[in-house]
Amino acid sequence: MSKPVSGDFSKTAGWLDWFDGPAKPAFTLPAGAVDAHCHVFGPGAEFPYAPERKYTPCDASKADLFALRDHLGFARNVIVQATCHGADNRAMVDACRASNGKARGVATVKRSVTDEELQTLHEAGVRGVRFNFVKRLVDFTPKDELMEIASRIAKLGWHIVVYFEAQDLPELWDFFTNLPTTVVVDHMGRPDVSLPVDGPQFELFVKLMREHDNIWSKVSCPERLSVSGPKALAGERHAYHDVIPFARKLVETFPERVLWGTDWPHPNLKDHMPDDGLLVDFIPHIAPTAELQQQLLVNNPMRLYWPEEC
Ligand SMILES: O=C(O)c1cc(C(=O)O)oc(=O)c1
């Protein structure tokens, strides 16, 4: 049955709803594992979608997210502000506050944000801001504005999450390498995985990480990046073969600077909605040893989001 969007909204045509019958993963997550990239959507009646949004999703509430966390065996979440909420962080903040310390957040803020607002976000559990360069998701924000935000949030000990596509890295290189904080790249900088893993496109991304030890990557979203499949559906435990070499290269080369997340509720997928249980079964293909899994799923996210517990 199609999931609703509440309030005065209609879903984007062709919207794929998140899947509510996820399998129990065959892979047992290490104790204390963190899903370091997920979102909440609305509910629209309580937390309206932003007027400037580029898509309208189905609702995906904090209760739905916390149920998924428990079902998959994660201990904690990092909730990343979704672009459909613009710079209105209320839904994400509400989820962080309701999590009993089990969620941290990444916000979107404008240059006009006050110090008091930043402090309130910090108290709710926010530890970073997201800068988005994907043109289908956001309107352009001038880099000098972003740099001003970066220098303000650096003082709070926060980091910056960046989302961009591989073909835009050359143009963004100087901006990224001048940021004053830890920088976390969403979804491996969205490589074209039909190109060779040691070809110029992905090598540029590896070079970015090799030359700048403040740059981290989420080795997430095989379901978005895969061209070959098979899809994580109907018990498939060998999904997204073509993404494995890319993610594994980052995990093995930079074991202390990688994070993993489900990306639930998977905004804007066009041809299938993965079973999140089967997505968890992707992890041992990209982090084949218990030590790499511990770093990817526990030690690294804890260092970034809960340093006081490390
Ligand atoms: O590729 C996407 O469509 C996408 C969108 C968003 C968002 O709208 O925030 O976040 C993601 O991590 C990925």
Question: pLDDT digits over 216-274, tens only?
Answer: 999 999 999 999 999 999 999 899 999 999 999 999 999 999 999 999 999 999 999 99
Number of structural domains, the chain? 1
Half-sphere exposure of 300 (CA within 13 A, CB side): 26
CA quadruple 162, 167, 170, 171: dihedral positive or negative? negative
Percent of the chain topping pLDDT 70: 100
Better pLDDT: 182 or 238: 182
Identify whether 295 is part of a domain: yes
Q: Which of 59, 88, 263, 281 is catalytic?
A: 263
User: Helix 143-154 crosses helix 169-177 at what angle (to 10 degrees)?
Assistant: 40
Which alpha helices (DSSP H) does 113-168 contain, by range?
A: 115-124, 143-154
Better pLDDT: 140 or 293: 293
- Model pLDDT, residue 55: 98
Q: Which domain holds residue 264?
A: 34-309
Task: Report how far ligand 1's centroid is from the alpha carbon of 267 (Å).
Answer: 6
Identify whether 2 is part of a domain: no
Q: Which of 87, 109, 203 is nearest to 156 (CA)?
A: 109
d(CA 52, CA 85): 8
Residue 137 near ligand 1, beta carbon < 6 Å: yes
Identify whether 301 is part of a domain: yes
Task: Report how far ligand 1's centroid is from the alpha carbon of 301 (Å).
Answer: 20
Which amino acid belongs to residue 225? L
Average pLDDT, the chain: 98
ipTM field: 0.99
Q: What is the pLDDT of residues 29-40, one digit of tens each?
A: 999 999 999 999
Q: Could you tell me the pLDDT band of residue 1, with boundaries at 50, 70 and 90?
A: confident
Q: Is the pLDDT of residue 195 over 80?
A: yes
In the chain, how long is the greatest CA-to-CA distance? 49
Mention every residue, 6+ apart, whose C-beta is less than 8 A from residue 242. 193, 194, 226, 227, 228
Which residue CA neighbors atom 4 of ligand 1 most closely? 267
Mention every residue, 6+ apart, whose C-beta is less than 8 A from residue 139. 52
Task: Please choose from 89, 163, 273 the residue to mutate so as to test ligand 1's pocket, defined by most ligand atoms within 8 A of CB.
Answer: 163
Residue 186 near ligand 1, beta carbon < 6 Å: yes
**Could you say which DSSP state residue 109 is in?**
-
pTM of the model: 0.98
> Residue 220: which H helix or E strand, with range?
none
For residue 248, the tally of other CB atoms under 10 A from its CB is 17
Task: Report how far ligand 1's centroid is from the alpha carbon of 113 (Å).
Answer: 23
Identify whether 21 is part of a domain: no
Task: Read off the pLDDT of each residue in 79-98 and give the average, rounded to a whole number.
Answer: 98
In degrees and rounded to multiples of 5, residue 162 shows phi and psi of: -120, 140
Task: Read off the pLDDT of each residue in 158-175 and give the average, rounded to a whole number.
Answer: 98
- Model pLDDT, residue 227: 97
Identify whether 69 is part of a domain: yes
144 is catalytic: no
- Model pLDDT, residue 237: 85
Give the CATH number of the domain where residue 301 resides.
Answer: 3.20.20.140
Q: Which of 128, 243, 117, 260 is nearest to 190 (CA)?
A: 243
Which ligand 1 atom is the nearest neighbour of the CA of 269? 3
Residue 82 near ligand 1, beta carbon < 6 Å: yes
Count Cβ atoms within 10 A of the Cβ of residue 141 and give its class: 0-12 exposed, 13-18 middle, 19 or more buried.
middle
Identify whether 77 is part of a domain: yes
Q: Could you tell me the pLDDT band of residue 305, with boundaries at 50, 70 and 90?
A: very high
Identify whether 241 is part of a domain: yes
Identify whether 108 is part of a domain: yes
Task: Read off the pLDDT of each residue in 63-70 and give the average, rounded to a whole number.
Answer: 98
Mention every residue, 6+ apart, whose C-beta is less than 8 A from residue 119. none
Count Cβ atoms within 10 A of the Cβ of residue 231 and give its class: 0-12 exposed, 13-18 middle, 19 or more buried.
middle
DSSP lists the bridge partners of residue 106 as 80, 128
Which residue CA neighbors atom 13 of ligand 1 most closely? 267
Which residue CA neighbors atom 10 of ligand 1 most closely? 82
